[in-house]
């Protein structure tokens, strides 16, 4: 079935009206796992299908008409900022902006913590001290082969450190824009940095960070960790998708992408 953006936007509007969610602005982002086990899903066009279905959600909330896109795999050197996606460039986006670009590192392992930390920094949830230095004590890392070279000789590896207990004093509740952030986090495998992820989400909860992580687990993996953190944290949701093809064609697709917990969280932000 050919994707029809206008039709999908109406479906999103219907779901949100049914949930009685008032009109509000929020930043919406998509975070895509590009680990080696995802290669088949990319090449079959299934990731493109999921990305397309998230676009109308972003257009409904984001007043600039764009969704932020990041990719991740093993460590900070695999975190990449991709061209923003909008109503004019979503067709063929994954092939054009991710698969065809050698500058986007791909097909490594699976680490969630570096990209989560990267998002928190980018949206301004880390305070800066009076000198203007990030209190998270981090700077943007080199990407691609240069980033991996630095990593191999022990430079710029602070993404591998467990967040300190004092990090709650570094995180702030509001993003730079003051808008809540919804992030759709697409992955097919259990991550290798569970303790680090739990620590940073705990610090986010203590700081009441205004960001909701919607993890979408693809495939037959049990995803015990994602289920656990979804139960543990109020701003974390989890959706299991065993069959991507059936998921994107489901009549209740947007009820799944906009679950009651997420819309309840958004209502609290709108007050």
Rounded average pLDDT over 193-202: 97
pTM score, whole prediction: 0.85
Q: Which pLDDT tens digit goes with each residue over 63-104?
A: 889 999 999 999 999 999 999 999 999 999 999 999 999 999
User: Does the pLDDT value for residue 157 go beyond 90?
Assistant: no
Residues in the chain, how many? 271
What the chain holds in terms of domains, given with CATH numbers, is: 5-270 (3.40.50.410)
Looking at 208-259, list the stretches that DSSP marks H as alpha helix, in order from N- to C-terminal side: 224-232, 244-248, 253-257
Q: What is the rounded average pLDDT for all residues in the chain?
A: 87
Rounded average pLDDT over 172-196: 95
Rounded average pLDDT over 256-262: 96
**Residue 4 contacts residue 252 (beta carbons within 8 Å):** no
Can you tell me which residue has the tokens 């980033």?
147
pLDDT of residue 128: 55
Share of the chain above pLDDT 90, in %: 75
Alpha-carbon distance of 209 to 207, in angstroms, equals: 5
């Amino acid at each position: 079935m050919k994707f029809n953006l206008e039709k999908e936007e109406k479906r999103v509007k219907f779901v949100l009206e049914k949930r009685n969610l008032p009109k509000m602005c929020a930043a919406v982002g998509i975070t895509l796992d590009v680990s080696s086990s995802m290669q088949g899903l990319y090449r079959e066009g299934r990731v493109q299908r999921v990305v397309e279905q998230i676009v109308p959600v972003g257009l409904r909330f984001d007043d600039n008409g764009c969704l932020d896109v990041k990719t991740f795999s093993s460590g900070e050197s695999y975190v990449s900022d991709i061209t923003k996606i909008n109503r004019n460039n979503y067709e063929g986006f994954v092939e054009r902006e991710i698969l065809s670009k050698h500058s986007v590192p791909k097909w490594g392992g699976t680490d969630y913590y570096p990209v989560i930390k990267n998002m928190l920094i980018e949206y301004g949830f880390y305070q800066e001290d009076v000198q203007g230095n990030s209190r998270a004590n981090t700077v943007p890392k080199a990407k691609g082969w240069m980033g991996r070279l630095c990593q191999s000789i022990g430079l710029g590896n602070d993404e591998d450190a467990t967040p300190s207990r004092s990090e709650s004093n570094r995180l702030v509740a509001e993003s730079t824009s003051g808008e809540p952030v919804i992030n759709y986090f697409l992955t097919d495998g259990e991550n290798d940095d569970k303790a680090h992820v739990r620590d940073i989400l705990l610090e986010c909860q203590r700081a009441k960070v205004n960001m909701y992580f919607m993890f979408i687990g693809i495939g037959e993996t049990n995803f015990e960790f994602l289920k656990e953190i979804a139960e543990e944290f109020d701003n974390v949701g989890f959706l299991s998708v065993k069959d991507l093809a059936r998921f994107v064609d489901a009549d209740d697709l947007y009820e799944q992408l906009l679950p009651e917990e997420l819309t309840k969280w958004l209502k609290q932000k709108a007050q």
